[in-house]
Structure 1
Amino acid sequence: MQAMQERSSVSPLELFFDLVFVFALTGVTALMAEDTSARNLVRGVLVMAVLWWSWIGYTWLANVVRADEGFARVAMFFAMGSMFIVALTIPEAFDDLPGGLPGPVVFAVGYFFVRLMHLATFWLASADDPQLRGQLLRFVPSMVAGTTLLLIASQLSGTAQTLMWLAALVADYLGTLFGGAGWRLNSASHFAERYGLIIIVALGESIVSIGIGVTALPISWPIVAGSLLGLAVSGLLWWAYFDTTTLAAERALSAATGETQIRLARGGYTFLHLPMVMGIVLISLGLKKVLNYVGDGSHHTLTDPLYGIPLVALFGGGALFLFGLAGFKAYVTGTMGPVNLGRITTAVVLVALIPLAWHLPALASLGLLTAVLLALILFETVRFAEHRDEIRHGEH
């Protein structure tokens, strides 16, 4: 297998791999939208966490060996097939539908094969690297525990099933967190680009959620307004991440070496990008419900409020994204800074606005979210103009 070079870019095969993840994110949003209860929201979060852990393993793998060369290419296609089956089974991840194969079991087995192919390919790639192979051996127990507990969960129901899912995720996540920092990072720029692209993938899914619920409805001014506001929210989130944050974080990651670099990559990207992606998925749920409200004819556009889980997802998702973004930048760059404090303050404001938005028409709630995010971006652009220019155009 061909090793990844220091300044390599993301390969087309990795982008192709992410198409399956796009479909999986759509499935998570649909799962939470089908039954907007707290229990179903928790289920959606758990499924998202499993999908994320399936995806991140291949970001580390493709940073050690080229994903589009030799056996790694075959492994990526095999993983795509398994991941696609997992995505197809999301509606049955907890409750089996009548007929066909047992959905929860298929989901768990698909996840097992995604993880198994990742481990096998890493094992081959580490043939001449005893330290990396030792790291893999320390990683195996968490992988076995996570997949085994998920298989056990497929035989349970109700609270016991949910708790077993949670135990599986704890085993996977904590096992990786405390399993050592003996991994390899051959290209910091490739690694940062990989995670930036997954943010774009998640934002793309939010745009799909805006339109997919109203494409069969006659166009109207409320649909036009809601769609543009939803697109503005996605654009503002994009701006918050890509304008300066990802540049500053990539440079800090590139400047680090050894285990320090591995810890920054693991903490800042593998762990702290999850709340950002999860926040976008929750916003997608809220956007989907807002567009349904303004377009389906069963709600009064000017008076009917968005309430309950969809409203909490809309504003809470925005807050979660900003918390994750601030944590990511602070962790990787090693400083909190006034920009991060502004984002944390805005996240707190979004949470505090939920009781007010509960009494506003759905379209007005979306407008309020857009206004708060726009105010944050305008403030950052004007207040930190010199700092922003230095990061984007200064020498580095």
Structure 2
Amino acid sequence: MTETKKRDWLRVKGSPGGSKVTFLELFFDLVFVFSISQLSHALAAHYTPLGALEAGLMTFAVWWVWIFTAWVTNWLDPDKMPVRGMLVVLMLLGLVLSASIPEAFGDKGLLFAGAYVLMQVGRSLFTTYAVKQASASNYRNFLRISTWLIVSGIFWIAGGLLEHEARLIAWLVALAMEYAGPASGFAVPGFGKSTASDWDVSGAHMAERCALFVIICLGEAILVSGRTFSELPFSTLTAVVFATGFVGTVAMWWLYFRFGHERAAHRIEHDETPGSLARQAFTYAHIPILAGIIVHAVAVEFMFSNPHETGDLGVIASVLGGSGLFLAGNLWFKGATSGRLPLSHLAGLVLLILLAFIAPFIELYLAGVLATAVLIIVAAWEYRSLSGQAVGHTVH
């Protein structure tokens, strides 16, 4: 009877709700709306090379704790009470993590690290217990994952106790270990390592979960534009910047969802090793997509505050870098799930590189307009190229 109960915590693959994203998963994501907002504000407030490195590290950490949870709920059923309890606890810890972001490299370093480690290790140990009698391969996998997270957690906590550069170094080591884990199969002496065939995932569930996270990030970009626009006196220039930020965000939405999201779900569902493809397409390729949207939101803030500025290479990097990171991430994502790199995205990256040569000599808002124009060109090119083709089952 105990074994049956534990099996009951798992999703039933192939059932009508086996790939469904539940309302609790959507509720869980609300915490990360706050996280993304905190990250974009932290980057804008400390826009220096060191500040960018710190914000980047925290972005990687936030993404990692979210994507690991998405993988776990691919197997565990959030409609089961024990899994619900686990997710609610993770939400509370995620709220603590998010609230600590502005002072993570100050007085709240230990709070940030403690919340992160509790989320990662606690969720992994819970899953290990949940799958123990239901799936021997997943049980071994989560034993390996727990081992890696416990070891990296030592560096997270040590960093929280240290200060300044020592904290940054300790956390970079911890993050490097965690990001190397999936690519190395979470190899542990005595336990071996995972293989691609061990990770039988639902492509539809992973695609929808990641799509919802992208929506959260795009929503933050919309909120930045709207909030800043409402606080400034109306003028033709502020209207232009507002429209630029909005159109750029819509172009990002179009590029990701029109030919990428559902095709990825279809490809992974029918791939012989879905776990390997999902790891590349979702676990790793979405990182530059996420970073690009956050940097785009920061760039919109800069365009509102200093629209006539010229020559500031750091600020220009945010304007062009947001679009560039987003296109690079989509290039990786679509290449992994379609088997070929989209020429339109490659051309867009070339246009942004060329734009970088003239951007220092034009006003910031004009650079933003041109970067948005590049996104529109890429979207139009891709639509023209693919709209008449059957892309998986996604063209309607």
Superposed pair shares fold, TM > 0.5: yes
Q: What amino acid is the match of 1:254? A: E
Task: Show the counterpart of 2:76.
Answer: 65
Question: Where does 1:151-300 land on structure 2 (aligned, <5 Å)?
Answer: 151-178=157-184, 179=186, 180-181=194-195, 183-257=198-272, 260-294=273-307
CA 150–141 in structure 1, closer or farther in 2 if over 3 Å, else same: same
Task: Show the counterpart of 2:383.
Answer: 381
Task: Show the counterpart of 1:136.
Answer: 142
Q: What amino acid is the match of 2:302? A: K
Q: What amino acid is the match of 1:126? A: V
User: Equivalent of 1:56, from 67, 76, 97?
Assistant: 67
CA 38–388 in structure 1, closer or farther in 2 if over 3 Å, else same: farther
User: Equivalent of 2:340, from 324, 336, 339?
Assistant: 336
CA deviation map 1:27-62 (0-9, x unaligned): 111111112111100110000001111101110111
Question: 2-side partners of 1:144 and 1:166: how far apart?
Answer: 16
CA deviation map 1:265-293 (0-9, x unaligned): 11111111111111111111111111223
Greater CA deviation, 110-119 or 42-51?
110-119
* Alignment check: 8 A CA contact 2:328 2:349 kept: yes
Q: What amino acid is the match of 2:235? A: S
- Local SS of the residue matching 1:4: coil
CA deviation map 1:309-364 (0-9, x unaligned): 2321221121111111111122233x224xx1320231232133223122222221
Give how far 1:186 is off.
Answer: 4.7
* Alignment check: 8 A CA contact 1:285 1:310 kept: no
* Alignment check: 8 A CA contact 2:199 2:276 kept: no
Give how far 1:16 is off.
Answer: 1.0
CA deviation map 1:159-183 (0-9, x unaligned): 3332222111111111232122465
CA 393–50 in structure 1, closer or farther in 2 if over 3 Å, else same: closer
Q: CA RMSD in A?
A: 1.9
Task: Show the counterpart of 1:125.
Answer: 130
CA deviation map 1:236-268 (0-9, x unaligned): 1111111111222111101013xx111111111
Question: 2-side partners of 1:71 and 1:177: how far apart?
Answer: 30
CA deviation map 1:65-105 (0-9, x unaligned): 22232101011110000011010000111122xxxxxx100
CA 388–217 in structure 1, closer or farther in 2 if over 3 Å, else same: farther
Equivalent pairs, count? 375
1:88 aligned to 2:99? yes
CA 198–279 in structure 1, closer or farther in 2 if over 3 Å, else same: same
Task: Show the counterpart of 1:114.
Answer: 119
Greater CA deviation, 261-270 or 218-227?
218-227
Give how far 1:151 is off.
Answer: 1.4
Greater CA deviation, 141-150 or 50-59?
141-150
CA deviation map 1:205-245 (0-9, x unaligned): 11112123343223322222211111110111111111111
Question: 2-side partners of 1:194 and 1:57: how far apart?
Answer: 11
Give how far 1:136 is off.
Answer: 1.1
Q: What amino acid is the match of 1:366? A: G
Question: 1-side partners of 2:351 and 2:256: how far apart?
Answer: 19
Question: 2-side partners of 1:56 and 1:121: how far apart?
Answer: 16
* Alignment check: 8 A CA contact 1:4 1:66 kept: yes
Question: 1-side partners of 2:387 and 2:249: how far apart?
Answer: 22
Question: 1-side partners of 2:392 and 2:58: how far apart?
Answer: 40
- Local SS of the residue matching 1:112: helix
With structure 2 as the length reference, what TM-score do the two structures score?
0.89
User: Equivalent of 1:3, from 5, 10, 30?
Assistant: 10
Question: 2-side partners of 1:123 and 1:389: how far apart?
Answer: 38
Q: What amino acid is the match of 2:10? A: A
CA 375–156 in structure 1, closer or farther in 2 if over 3 Å, else same: same
User: Equivalent of 2:50, from 36, 39, 45?
Assistant: 39
CA 245–117 in structure 1, closer or farther in 2 if over 3 Å, else same: same
Question: Where does 1:357-368 land on structure 2 (aligned, <5 Å)?
Answer: 357-368=359-370
* Alignment check: 8 A CA contact 1:82 1:114 kept: yes
Greater CA deviation, 222-231 or 173-182?
173-182
Give how far 1:188 is off.
Answer: 1.9
Task: Show the counterpart of 1:298.
Answer: none
* Alignment check: 8 A CA contact 1:25 1:205 kept: yes
* Alignment check: 8 A CA contact 1:64 1:185 kept: no
Question: 2-side partners of 1:161 and 1:37: how far apart?
Answer: 18
* Alignment check: 8 A CA contact 1:280 1:317 kept: yes
Give how far 1:306 is off.
Answer: 7.1
Q: What amino acid is the match of 2:9? A: Q
Question: 1-side partners of 2:26 and 2:311: how far apart?
Answer: 36
Structure 2, gaps ≥5 residues long: 1-7, 187-193
Runs ≥4 residues deviating over 6 A? none
Question: 2-side partners of 1:74 and 1:351: how far apart?
Answer: 48
Question: 1-side partners of 2:311 and 2:33: how far apart?
Answer: 26
